[in-house]
Amino acid sequence: MRGYFGIGVEGISKTMNVGNLFRTAHAFGASFVFTVDATYERTLGQKADTSKSGGHVPFYSFPGVAEVMLPDGCKLVGVELLEDATELPSFRHPQQAAYVLGPERGSLSPAMLARCDHTIKIPMAFCVNVGIAGAIVMYDRLISQSRFAARPVAEGGPVEAPPEPRHGGRFSRKAQARMKAFEDTPPEVFNEGE
């Protein structure tokens, strides 16, 4: 899978939910995790974060929305049940993305929604736990951006191998320069000097 992603929460107060989300993020290969204006004690969160993601995934704690700093080119994607949000199955994930979820008993703040490049929603009747919502978003990113075999029409696993990657092979400027010299000079000129 190309690109990278991070995931975080705004205004959350339940440490175990954050620990659960960060453990799942570690399992899905997140490049970083973060909190914004949140009450999170990492030592308590490790009760749910049994993979100890803090030793493997960079963690950022931002005091407020204005202080959130993301890498250049990274798109902020809000996950919220809003009328005009794009439904997750119809959303094309950015290659460089940071997903932010709201608190347990609330929504993303107006300031955070204003910062978001995209807002998505999981099509469901009501909100689920923050850790579950984050896992659904990360799983959707994985299956939509990775190269898996197509799902069969009948029950069961795939009957054909996954497609080969579309990108080219190894690139070498030196090899390219040698090939260019060979193309510009006929082979007999190379043989005359021997």
The percent of residues above 70 in pLDDT, for the chain, comes to 76
- Give the residue among 139, 97, 143 at the shortest CA–CA distance from 122: 139
pTM, full prediction: 0.76
Does residue 174 register a pLDDT over 80? Answer: no
* Model confidence at 187: pLDDT above 70: no
Read off the pLDDT band of 96 (50, 70, 90): very high
Tens-digit pLDDT profile for residues 56-65? 788 899 999 9
Smallest CA-to-CA distance from 101 within 25, 177, 184 is with: 25
| CATH homologous superfamily, domain 4-145 | SPOUT methyltransferase, trefoil knot domain (3.40.1280.10)
Percent of the chain with pLDDT over 90: 43
Reported as a pLDDT band with limits 50, 70 and 90, residue 127 is confident
Q: How is 148-171 classified by DSSP, letter by letter? A: -PPPPSSSSS-SSPPPPPSS----
pLDDT digits over 134-168, tens only? 999 999 999 998 777 777 777 877 666 666 666 66
Cα dihedral sign, 86-127-76-135: negative
> For residues 190 and 55, which has the higher predicted lDDT (pLDDT)?
55
- Whether 182 has a pLDDT exceeding 70, the answer reads no
**134 vs 19, which has greater pLDDT?**
134
**Amino acid identity, position 135:** A
pLDDT for 190 beyond 60: no
pLDDT in the model for residue 126: 82
Locate the domains of the chain by residue range. Answer: 4-145
